[in-house]
Amino acid sequence: MLDIKYIKEHIELIREKLQQRGDTTDLGKFLEYDQERRTILKESEELKHQRNLFSQQIGVLLKKGKVADEIDTVKMKETSNKIKDLDEKLKITQINLESFLHTIPNIPHSSVPIGSDEKENEIIRHWGKIKSFSFEPKAHWDLGESLGILDFLRSSKITGSRFSLYLGKGALLERALINFMLDLHTKQHGYTEVVPPFMVNSTSMFSTGQLPKFEEDLFKTSQEDFYLIPTAEVPLTNIHREEILEEDCLPIKYVAYSPCFRREAGSYGKDTRGLIRQHQFNKVELVWFSRPDNSYLNLELLLQDAESVLQILELPYRIVNLCTGDLGFSAAKTYDIEVWLPNQKMYREISSCSNFEDFQARRGKIKYKDKEKGKIKFVHTLNGSGLAIGRTVVAILENYQEEDGSITIPKALQPYLGGITKIEKAH
C-alpha cells in the first residue's frame, strides 16, 4: 500500500510507474475521493468541536447545582444527528478511497528495468558450469518414476492433479534438503528458525498483499476465515504486524520451512507434468525486517544467502532482475534465481528475492522507532526463497543423473541422507 500523501505529491510519477507495470488504475478517481473525504472530515470535526465545548459546559453547570431541564439540549441533539450523517458519508468515501489504495501495486525501484513481460528481464550474472552429458538427459518425472521415488499416478488418485507423492529415498531427499537449508541459514547466515502456522487469517493475507486482489489464487477453509498459506512469507512477515520494533533489533532475519498451497488458477496446461507447478510444495523461506536506509543493500545479502544453497549443491544458475511488467504486486524490486535444467535445456525459477520497501509494512502497520529522531517509521520488509524444495529436487535429479538412470547425491547433502552417495533403482 502506498502513502496517500506521497501519491498526491507525486501524481505524475506514480502514473508513469504504474503504466510501466501495465497497471490501468484511474488515479483521477482517487484524487476525487480524497478531496471529498477531506471536505466531509473538516465539517464533521468542526461540529464535534462544538459538541465537546457544549457538553463540557453542561458538566460545569450541573456541578453548580443547575437542574437538567434548565439546559437547552435540543440544539445539541441536532448537532449530534448532523455529525452522525456526516460520519456515515465519510465512512463510504473512506471505503471507496481505501479499496483504491488496496489494489494499487507497489512502485518499481529505479534500478528495475522497464519492460512489459519476462522477455525483457535483465540477466545479471551466471554461476557454475553447465554439465555436458554423453547421453540425452531425462526429465525428472521419468527419472523419479523409474527409480520409484516419485509417484504421480497415485498422488492424483489420492487428491488430484498437481499433487505429488514422494517415496523412500525421494521422501528422504526432500527431508534432507529442508534440514540442510535450515541448518545453513541458521548456522552460517544468522537467521532465527521459526515454525509458523500454515493457516492464517484474512488480516495477515491483506498485510502481505495476497488480499483483496488475489483471492482466487488461495485455498480457503470453508468453516473458518482461514487461508492456507501460499508461502511462509505470510506468517513470517505477520509476526510483527501492528508492532513497533526497536531500531537496535533490526535487521530481524527469520527462516522457516513450510508447505505452500496455491490454486494455480489460470495456469491450466502449464507445467502439467512433474514437480515444477504443484498445488502443494515445500519451501524454505527467508524474511527480513530492515531499516529503510539499507534495505537495498540487505536485498543483495538476502540474495547471496539464497544463492549459496545452489553453490554448495553445485547447481548452475543465473540471476535475473525482473522488469517492471514482470514484477509481483507488492514488490519494488525482485531478483529471480533460475537453476539450469538439462532436460528442458533452460533456466527455471527456483527462488525469488524481493524488497517490498514499506508496502507491506504500511498494510500490516509494522514500524520501528528511529533512534536519532525518535520518530516512528515503517520498516522495510524483504523475503526470498531459500529455496523451493521441490524444484531443488528437480534440479538435483536432472543435473546429477547418470546414464543408467541413477542419481548421485551432491557431496554436501550426503550427511543428511545417512551417508548414501547414490539413489539407485530398488530391486
Partner RNA sequence: GGAGAGGUGGCCGAGUUGGCUUAAGGCGCUCGCCUGCUAAGCGAGUGAAUGGGGAAACUUGUUCCGAGGGUUCGAAUCCCUCCCUCUCCGCCA
Tell me the three cell numbers of residue 326. 514482470
Binding of RNA at residue 66 (CB under 7 A)?
no
Q: Which stretch binds RNA (CB under 7 A): 49-57, 132-140, 256-264, 416-424?
A: 49-57
Choose the catalytic residue: 120, 264, 314, 349. 349
Distance CA 5, CA 166 (A): 52
Between 58 and 312, whose beta carbon lies closer to RNA? 58
Distance CA 219, CA 102 (A): 21
Site string for RNA, 85-124 (x = CB under 7 A): ------x---------------------------------
Count the neighbouring beta carbons within 10 Å of the beta carbon of residue 389: 25
Q: Are 393 and 173 in contact (CB under 8 A)?
A: yes
The sign one gets for the Cα dihedral 344, 309, 177, 218 is negative
Looking at 19, 56, 103, 159, which residue binds RNA (CB under 7 A)? Answer: 56
The closest of 123, 287, 110 to 189, measured between CA atoms, is 287
Least gap, CB of 235 to RNA (angstroms): 14
Choose the catalytic residue: 15, 277, 291, 318. 277
Binding of RNA at residue 42 (CB under 7 A)?
yes
Cis peptide, bond prior to residue 387, ω within 30 of zero: yes
Distance CA 79, CA 50 (A): 9
Q: Are 413 and 150 in contact (CB under 8 A)?
A: no
Binding of RNA at residue 31 (CB under 7 A)?
no
Choose the catalytic residue: 262, 348, 362, 363. 262
CA distances from 70 to 62, 120, 322 (A): 10, 77, 73
Between 51 and 279, whose beta carbon lies closer to RNA? 51
Beta strands across the sheet bearing 366-369: 243-246, 366-369, 376-378
Active site (annotated) includes residue 202: no
Least gap, CB of 348 to RNA (angstroms): 37
Site for RNA in 367-386 (CB under 7 A): 367, 374, 376
Binding of RNA at residue 5 (CB under 7 A)?
yes
Q: Which stretch binds RNA (CB under 7 A): 9-17, 69-77, 231-239, 335-343?
A: 69-77
Name the residues annotated as catalytic: 262, 277, 349, 352, 391
Contact residues for RNA, defined by CB under 7 A? 4-5, 38, 41-42, 44-46, 48-49, 51-52, 54-56, 58-59, 62-63, 68, 73, 76-77, 80, 84, 91, 244, 367, 374, 376
